[in-house]
């Protein structure tokens, strides 16, 4: 198998295939250091951790990750906690930054299982994906051109990667939606000011306080569409976070720290159907983009890797193609479930330019807080399913 991209999806697939004794090569355009330090998501679901554990990939995660079973919504200066673990079988989230997941996956794949990764490759090309003998060609970091003939190609090279773009026009359907919202995403060397993820609704827009480690925290601010990072000097970021996260009649305080990253995130959803074409199988962001709301992206990528590894292993052992044929359908069921939930949350926690819609969102949140069945829906989708 040729795997393009050494992110959570590609590396998990590589590990599972090595475990099953199936030869594979991973191509990655970045260096090992680059992918091991690039900050991204930070939340793993119970199910994803269970899968990593079953395959011996969760050793450090289980020791170091914090487990979270409750989150907090703030609205009109009041805090409301939702104890989603109690509402859903005791299942929790694990707070473990994506770059730590990647470090562990690389260590297992390369250092312990002797897996092959080509770092710093360029000009990756796919050949014969509509045949049973596809191939990958690429230029290595030392300038040599190389070719891999394989049975399958896994496209795990992200939204802008070459693999999805190699599918002929019209062969797959693409569903795209811009949610009309943007976030300023901020990473700071600041200890968390909370033990739970905080979602705050404020007349000026959403603010979030998310968790990474005892020394680093992630914050989000809803900003107007087409806003730029230049409009957000550090002092403005902190004053806006203080204002939107404020609690009435409380001595809660936000601790500041050095801001190390600021980015504008487009709230976009994108799904490719089906997730395969010929002998090319797409995984993770190459096949589907989801908004960060609900923290589903990395979890979906790991699920794709698990389903594809199972399918390829079954085919390799017995020639049975059932899993390969149902790969896209099985993954897309979870993808669309997550898209629907993320959209439900996006609507609930943001201020819309249309005041009527903002009030509907607030009504949704009030119902979540007041109604056991709404809280049950939230819990099942947030930490599961």
10 Å CB burial of residue 346 (0-12, 13-18, 19+) is: buried
**Segment lying near ligand PHB (by CB under 6 A), choices 104-112, 247-255, 287-295, 318-326:** 287-295
List 188, 210, 289, 348, residue binding ligand PHB (CB under 6 A)? 210
**Segment lying near ligand PHB (by CB under 6 A), choices 127-135, 235-243, 261-269, 293-301:** 293-301
If one asks whether residue 294 binds ligand PHB (CB under 6 A), the answer comes out as yes
Minimum distance from CB of 349 to ligand PHB (Å)?
Answer: 8
**Segment lying near ligand PHB (by CB under 6 A), choices 254-262, 292-300, 324-332, 364-372:** 292-300
Nearest Cα neighbor of 338 from 288, 276, 274 is 288
262 an active-site residue? Answer: no
10 Å CB burial of residue 229 (0-12, 13-18, 19+) is: middle
Report helix, strand or coil for 146.
Answer: strand
292 an active-site residue? Answer: yes
10 Å CB burial of residue 362 (0-12, 13-18, 19+) is: middle
List 4, 24, 43, 289, residue binding ligand PHB (CB under 6 A)? 43
Q: Which of 292, 315, 327, 350 is catalytic?
A: 292
Q: Which of 296, 315, 327, 350 is catalytic?
A: 296
Cβ contacts of 230-233, under 8 Å, gap ≥ 24: 232/184, 232/262
Q: Which of 94, 199, 220, 315 is catalytic?
A: 199
Measured distance CA(378)–CA(82) in Å, rounded? 9
If one asks whether residue 290 binds ligand PHB (CB under 6 A), the answer comes out as no
If one asks whether residue 245 binds ligand PHB (CB under 6 A), the answer comes out as no
68 an active-site residue? Answer: yes
List 14, 69, 292, 361, residue binding ligand PHB (CB under 6 A)? 292
Q: Structure tokens of 159?
A: 């939204």
Determine the number of helices (DSSP H) and then strands (DSSP E) in the chain: 12, 20
If one asks whether residue 134 binds ligand PHB (CB under 6 A), the answer comes out as no
**Size of the chain in residues:** 385
Active site residue ranges:
68, 199, 292, 296, 382
Which residues of this chain interact with ligand PHB, rule CB under 6 A?
41-43, 197, 210, 218, 292-295
């Amino acid at each position: 198998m040729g795997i393009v991209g050494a992110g959570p999806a590609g590396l998990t697939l590589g590990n599972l295939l090595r475990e099953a004794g199936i030869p594979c090569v991973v191509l990655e355009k970045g260096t090992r250091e680059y992918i091991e330090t690039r900050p991204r998501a930070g939340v793993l679901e119970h199910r994803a951790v269970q899968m990593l554990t079953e395959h011996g990939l969760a050793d450090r995660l289980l020791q170091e990750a914090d487990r979270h079973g409750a989150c907090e919504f703030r609205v009109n200066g009041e805090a409301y906690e939702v104890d989603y673990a109690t509402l859903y079988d005791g299942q929790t989230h694990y707070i473990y930054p994506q770059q730590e997941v990647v470090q562990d996956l690389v260590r297992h794949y390369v250092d312990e299982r002797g897996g092959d990764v080509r770092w710093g490759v360029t000009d990756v090309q796919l050949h014969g994906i509509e045949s049973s003998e596809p191939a990958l060609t690429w230029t290595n970091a030392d300038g040599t051109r190389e070719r891999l003939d394989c049975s399958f190609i896994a496209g795990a090279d992200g939204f802008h990667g070459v693999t999805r773009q190699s599918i002929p026009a019209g062969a797959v359907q693409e569903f795209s939606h811009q949610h009309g919202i943007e976030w300023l995403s901020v990473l700071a060397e600041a200890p968390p000011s909370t033990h739970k993820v905080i979602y705050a609704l404020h007349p000026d827009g959403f603010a979030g306080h998310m968790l990474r480690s005892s020394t680093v925290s992630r914050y989000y601010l809803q900003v107007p569409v087409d806003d730029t990072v230049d409009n957000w000097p550090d002092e403005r970021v902190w004053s806006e976070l203080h204002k939107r996260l404020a609690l009435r009649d409380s001595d809660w305080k936000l601790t500041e720290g050095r801001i190390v990253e600021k980015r504008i995130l487009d709230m976009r959803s994108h799904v490719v159907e089906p997730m395969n074409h010929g002998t090319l199988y797409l995984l993770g962001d190459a096949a589907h983009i989801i908004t960060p709301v609900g923290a589903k992206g990395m979890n979906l990528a790991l699920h794709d890797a698990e389903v594809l590894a199972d399918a390829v292993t079954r085919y390799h052992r017995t020639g049975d193609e059932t899993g390969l044929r149902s790969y896209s359908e099985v993954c897309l069921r979870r993808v669309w479930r997550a898209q629907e939930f993320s959209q439900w949350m996006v609507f609930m926690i943001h201020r819309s330019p249309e005041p009527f819609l903002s009030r509907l969102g607030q009504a949704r949140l009030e119902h979540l807080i007041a109604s056991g069945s709404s809280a049950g829906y939230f819990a099942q989708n947030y930490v599961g399913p």
